[in-house]
Amino acid sequence: MSWYRNTVWFVNFVCEDTRSGYESASKHFNPADVEVDVAGRSFLVTGANSGIGKATAKEIARRGGTVHLVCRNEERAEVAKGEIVTETGNQNIFLHVLDISNPKEVWKFAEKFKEEHKLNVLINNAGCMVNNRELTEDGLEKNFATNTLGTYVLTSALLPLLETAADARVITVSSGGMLVQKLDLSDLQSGSGTFDGTMVYAQNKRQQVVLTEQWAKAHRNIHFSVMHPGWADIPAVRSSMPDFYEKMKNSLRTEAQGADTVVWLALSPEATKFPSGLFFQDRQSVATHLPLAWTHSPPEDEEKLMEVLEEFSQKFKCTCPG
């Protein structure tokens, strides 16, 4: 089975996910889709100090949007903010220091943000791939805490703000790696068996797809989408997959190419003509399961994921002052 998974992933990568795949797809893009003025609209981008997050924030800033950068490392985030302001001339760039893997802090941040700001578009980009099992200070496996629970808590906490906004959208940056994973609720924190960081990450990304589909059903006033950026030359790939990076670095997409569909989903009127809850690559909705795949889950499992994450979420919310 691992041979099958790896083969499928590699074939998918070679065919569509490289720079050449983007260049082929982009021939069919309509540049006017993203030539929009979004002055007065507010965007929150997590993991915005580098890679796809920074590239996304920069493109939104170029079009006049108010951008909230949510980053873990203050020093790197200040550099990124300065670069965005300098290159775009947009002064409406705000920095918030937050570790998405800390659900208590995510709750505190979201409650404060709701009191002080408006929000039209949430972009869940922050993520990690830790190759050895690590626990956060709350005893949570780090990949799960960042990619799944952090995404769930932040989005859930900001939903009331988004519900009142015009043309509200939530975009989550997933990965095509999720195609090799079926939703598995038996070991959400990867505490049993051999720990494989790549497959844990892929499972988290499958979970993000399920979250998006479930949110879309429950919140009709918000347009939800999840996307695969392709394999891009970003710091996370270099640090988490060094052998892969060395072999493929000449074929990887640029950061801007990886961010293109995020920007399109966040800005374009065309994006919301698609039904809410879909998975996208290169500005098109694509299937969330490969043909003849074993990755389909029963609806009750997908609903159970939401229940379990809500239990986790409320547990950490209760520890917040007030």
Mean of pLDDT values over 63-75: 97
2: confidence class by pLDDT, cuts 50, 70, 90: very low
Q: What is the pLDDT of residue 322?
A: 45
Q: What is the pLDDT of residue 291?
A: 87
Q: How far apart, in whole angstroms, are the C-alpha atoms of residue 291 and residue 67?
A: 39
Residue-range domain boundaries for the chain: 3-313
Q: What is the pLDDT of residue 231?
A: 67
Find residue 124's DSSP bridge partners: 172
Rg (CA), the chain: 18
247: confidence class by pLDDT, cuts 50, 70, 90: low
| Catalytic residue positions, numbered | 201
Quick: pLDDT tens for 274-305. Answer: 999 999 999 999 999 988 889 999 999 999 99
Q: What is the pLDDT of residue 292?
A: 84
Average pLDDT taken over every residue of the chain: 90
Quick: pLDDT tens for 191-221. Answer: 998 999 999 999 999 999 999 999 999 999 9
Q: How far apart, in whole angstroms, are the C-alpha atoms of residue 282 and residue 257?
A: 9
Q: Which residue has the tokens 């800033």?
A: 61
Q: For residue 271, is pLDDT > 90? A: yes
What are the Cα distances from residue 283, in Å, to 22, 169, 215?
10, 15, 21
Q: For residue 4, is pLDDT > 70? A: no
Phi, psi of 47 (to 5 degrees): 60, 45
Strands 278-281 and 284-286: antiparallel
Where helices occur in 89-163 by DSSP H, the ranges are 103-116, 142-143, 151-163
CB neighbours (10 Å) of residue 299? 8
321: confidence class by pLDDT, cuts 50, 70, 90: very low
Quick: pLDDT tens for 153-172. Answer: 999 999 999 999 999 999 99
Q: What is the pLDDT of residue 1?
A: 43
* CB-based contacts of 128-132 (< 8 A; 24+ apart in sequence): 128/101, 128/201, 128/236, 128/240, 129/197, 129/198, 129/200, 129/201, 129/236, 129/240, 129/241, 130/197, 130/240, 131/197, 131/198, 131/240, 132/195, 132/197
Mean of pLDDT values over 310-321: 80
Q: What is the pLDDT of residue 154?
A: 98
Percent of the chain predicted with pLDDT > 70: 87
Percent of the chain predicted with pLDDT > 90: 79
Q: Show the tokens assigned to 316.
A: 């950490």
Angle (CA) 168 169 175, round 5°: 175
Q: Class assignment of domain 3-313?
A: alpha beta
Q: For residue 6, is pLDDT > 50? A: no
Quick: pLDDT tens for 92-149. Answer: 999 999 999 999 999 999 999 999 999 999 999 999 989 999 999 999 999 999 999 9
Where helices occur in 127-241 by DSSP H, the ranges are 142-143, 151-163, 197-218, 235-240
237 and 244 Cβ atoms separated by less than 8 Å: yes
Q: Which residue has the tokens 């049993």?
A: 192
pTM for this model (two decimals): 0.91
